[in-house]
């Protein structure tokens, strides 16, 4: 039942979106079709509620308290990809607030923040400007051809949401830098990727100059690349593999990590200072 409920949920959302666009666009839709669509939605919602109740009851019978049972039901019913995308939206809004207030996320006192957004921010700002121009041009063209107000409103909302997403990505990359702290190195890319590497697992730190990385997050055997504008310039080799969680929830084992920093020399220096063993106190020996 859970698989069926998930499948129907994925099918219902785009179908409802298409129907809503047609309705606000003043496109004539036969009443039987509308009634059938609403009946299908109600049936899917009833199925979702039944599946959620069965999962919740199974968790309760297994000894879970009410709140943990609700969380377990949510995790089992909603695919991890959907949950992570919803999390990106929330973290993106938080990042916008942090950006406006000039604060950073996850940088404790005494830690070293390592920025990585400087090289990509100008390109993203240009992309943002192009999207604003596209929004204005689309509105002018739709008015010129006499498009319905409802359709223009839908396109405006979609374009505005896309602009917000791009702004959130820029803000997240600025406010969520890599972090070198007393016990770990935190390698991040905005709200999409976050990997904590304990110092005791780091065997070697060095420089690397790659300008043709394929994709933001690439895993090849046990080698992980977290690229910025297709570039990486730092490499960490580990004494044992570590588990990295990719943006949509897939897990991979990595023993070598390539990533990017705006100032790689300063990052390596800060990391080497953290990795150096503390000097042992000297004891006086009585003669």
Q: Is position 57 within any domain?
A: yes
Together in a domain, 223 and 134:
no
pLDDT band of residue 285 (cuts 50, 70, 90) is very low
Of 5-9, 112-116, 207-211, 278-282, give the lowest mean pLDDT range.
Answer: 278-282
For the record, the structure tokens of 66 come out as 């009410």
- Rounded to 5 degrees, φ, ψ at 158 are -65, -45
**Are 256 and 194 in contact, with CB atoms under 8 Å apart?**
no
Same domain, 194 and 163: no
The answer as to whether 31 is a domain residue is yes
- pLDDT value at 28 more than 80: no
If asked whether residues 271 and 182 sit together in one domain, one would say yes
- Rounded to whole angstroms, the Cα distance separating 247 from 177 reads 17
Same domain membership, residue 52 and residue 19: yes
| Residue 193 and residue 246 in contact, taking contact as beta carbons nearer than 8 Å | yes
Predicted confidence band of residue 279 (pLDDT cuts 50, 70, 90): very low
Instruction: Report residue 42's pLDDT band, with 50, 70 and 90 as the boundaries.
Output: confident
Domain shared by 73 and 107, yes or no = no
For residues 83 and 77, give the distance between their C-alpha atoms in angstroms, rounded to a whole number: 10
* φ/ψ bin of 88: left (φ > 0), alpha (ψ from -120 to 50), beta (otherwise): alpha
> Burial of 93 by CB count in 10 Å (0-12 exposed, 13-18 middle, 19+ buried)?
middle
Question: Of 66-75, 95-104, 140-149, 275-284, which range is least confident?
Answer: 275-284
175-199 per-position pLDDT tens digit: 999 999 989 999 999 999 999 999 9
Look at residue 87 and tell me if it is in a domain.
no
CA dist 254 and 248 (Å) reads: 17
**Is 93 contained in some domain?**
no
Work out how many domains the chain is built from and give that number.
3
Is 32 a domain residue?
yes
Which residue among 159, 175, 191 closes a domain?
175
Residues 170 and 189 in one domain: no
Domain limit, last residue, from 22, 48, 78: 78
pLDDT reported for residue 38:
67
Reply yes or no on whether the pLDDT at 263 is more than 80. yes
Per the structure, the complete domain to which residue 230 belongs is given by 178-275
pLDDT digits (tens, 9 = 90+) for 213-248: 988 899 888 999 999 999 999 999 999 999 999 998
């Amino acid at each position: 039942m859970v698989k069926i409920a998930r499948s129907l949920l994925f099918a219902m959302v785009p179908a409802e979106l298409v129907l809503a666009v047609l309705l606000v666009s003043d496109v004539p839709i036969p009443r039987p079709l509308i009634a059938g669509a609403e009946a299908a939605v109600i049936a899917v919602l009833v199925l979702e509620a039944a599946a959620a109740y069965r999962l919740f009851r199974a968790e309760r019978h297994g000894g879970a308290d009410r709140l943990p049972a609700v969380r377990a039901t949510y995790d089992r019913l909603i695919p991890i990809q959907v949950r992570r995308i919803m999390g990106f939206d929330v973290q993106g809004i938080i990042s916008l607030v942090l950006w406006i207030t000039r604060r950073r996320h996850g940088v404790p006192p005494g830690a070293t923040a390592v920025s990585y957004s400087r090289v990509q921010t100008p390109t993203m700002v240009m992309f943002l400007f192009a999207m604003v121009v596209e929004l204005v041009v689309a509105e002018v063209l739709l008015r010129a051809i006499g498009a319905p107000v409802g359709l223009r409103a839908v396109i405006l909302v979609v374009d505005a949401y896309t602009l917000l997403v791009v702004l959130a990505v820029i803000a997240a990359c600025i406010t969520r830098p890599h972090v070198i702290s007393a016990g770990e190195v935190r390698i991040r890319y905005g709200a999409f990727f976050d990997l904590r590497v304990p110092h005791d697992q780091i065997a070697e730190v060095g420089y690397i100059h790659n300008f043709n990385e394929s994709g933001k997050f690439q895993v090849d055997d046990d080698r992980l690349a977290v690229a910025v504008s297709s570039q990486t310039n730092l490499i960490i080799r580990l004494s044992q593999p570590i588990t990295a969680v990719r943006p949509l929830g897939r897990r991979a084992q990595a023993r070598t990590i390539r990533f990017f920093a705006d100032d790689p020399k300063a990052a390596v220096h800060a990391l080497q200072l953290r990795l150096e063993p503390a000097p042992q106190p000297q004891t006086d020996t009585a003669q």
